[in-house]
Amino acid sequence: MNNFLLGLQFLTRITIKKNLDWSEKACGGSVKFFPLIGAILGIIYVLVGYVIYYLLPSFNIYLSAHLIGFILLFCNIFLTGALHCDGFTDTMDGILSGRKRERILEIMKDSRVGAHGATCLILVLIGKYSMFTDLMVNQNIYITHTQFFNSLFALFLMPIIARCCMSIAVVLFPYARKEGLGKAFHEYSSKKSMAFALLFTFIISLLLGTIGVIALIFTIIVMYLFNRYVANLIGGLTGDVYGATAEIGELVVLFVFVLAQSFI
């Protein structure tokens, strides 16, 4: 239970117990629970979507497409404390700098935000905002019931699949630095942790239908290729890259569901 709560409080703003064992072994032990933590976030997103689509209209309150997109994006960022956004920004600053390995790692460690990181973060946030809007609203008219359930599946699976990709990244790829916050997660996790995360995510995706499985497979492939590219560039991954994996992974899942929405 300690490992699960540690992972929950590290990856999100949800605090249940303050006096946890934050040992390196406990950090590694939390890796297998990443998708389960994603499921908790997914449930919250689904509840927000339900309120927007069903509860508010019952009181004749209809939100605009732009406001819906903003609310969902706000929840996405607020619940994680922008932790993954920070890692994504640092990663993009580094890998797009065109420098050699050591300099890339220095840039990624720098707390200042560069043009590459800022631009990429803006693009990711615009992408998420646009797809959140498209999932919930179709040409300023609320989507059909069938499309709505597909949207709920997307909101639920998005954080689960993305954090499954994080588990894979932590376990499969070496850590690029001699020390760092993310090193404990890599050194004290195992392939069993990855297998548990994969199995949990696959079962959930399978229960939600073909589109769920397609989103899982496609996202894992995309994120594996991204992590492989970064690992070849800097000799492994870092905690920042784990955060980038979550951000890009969520974007890919949303893309698959928005694409599927047009066929429903």
The predicted structure's pLDDT at residue 137: 75
Per-residue confidence of the chain (264 residues) as pLDDT tens digits? 899 999 999 999 998 888 888 888 999 999 999 999 999 999 999 999 999 988 998 899 988 889 999 999 999 999 999 999 999 999 999 999 999 999 999 999 998 999 999 999 999 999 999 999 988 876 556 667 778 888 999 999 999 999 999 999 999 999 999 888 889 999 999 999 999 999 999 999 999 999 999 999 999 999 999 999 999 999 999 999 999 999 999 999 999 999 998 776
Query: Any alpha helices (H) in 12-112, and if so which ranges?
Result: 24-29, 34-50, 56-58, 65-78, 83-95, 101-109
> Cα(26)–Cα(55) distance, rounded to whole angstroms?
41
Residue at 46 is within a domain = yes
The reply to whether 175 falls in a domain is: yes
Angle value at C-alpha 86, between 85 and 91, nearest 5 degrees: 95
Question: What pLDDT is attached to residue 138?
Answer: 64
The answer to whether residue 71 sits within a structural domain is yes
Give residue 82's pLDDT: 95
Structural tokens at position 80: 């994680």
- Do residues 12 and 162 touch, judged by C-beta distance below 8 A? no
**Length of the chain counted residue by residue:** 264
Residue at 197 is within a domain: yes
Burial class (CB in 10 A: 0-12, 13-18, 19+), 97: middle
Report pLDDT for 142: 63
171 part of a folded domain: yes
pLDDT of residue 12: 96
CA distance 146 to 82: 32
Contact 197, 172 (CB under 8 A): no
Q: How many domains does the chain have?
A: 1
Tell whether 79 is covered by a domain.
Answer: yes
CA atoms of 34 and 56, how far apart (whole Å):
32
Is 173 a member of any domain? yes
- Residue 195, domain extent: 41-261
- Domain assignment present for residue 117? The answer is yes
Interhelix angle 34-50/2-11, rounded to 10 degrees, is 60
Q: How far apart are CA 209 and CA 153, in angstroms?
A: 9
- The pLDDT assigned to 256 comes to 96
Query: What's the pTM value of the predicted model, to 2 decimals?
Result: 0.95
- Count Cβ atoms below 10 Å from residue 68 Cβ, excluding itself: 22
3-state secondary structure of 98: coil
pLDDT for 143: 66
The total of other beta-carbon atoms located within 10 Å of residue 60's CB is 6
| Extended beta strands in 197-257, E state | none
Please tell me the predicted confidence (pLDDT) of residue 231. 97
pLDDT at 168: 98
What is the 3 state secondary structure string of 29-44?
HCHHHHHHHHHHHHHH
pLDDT at 140: 55
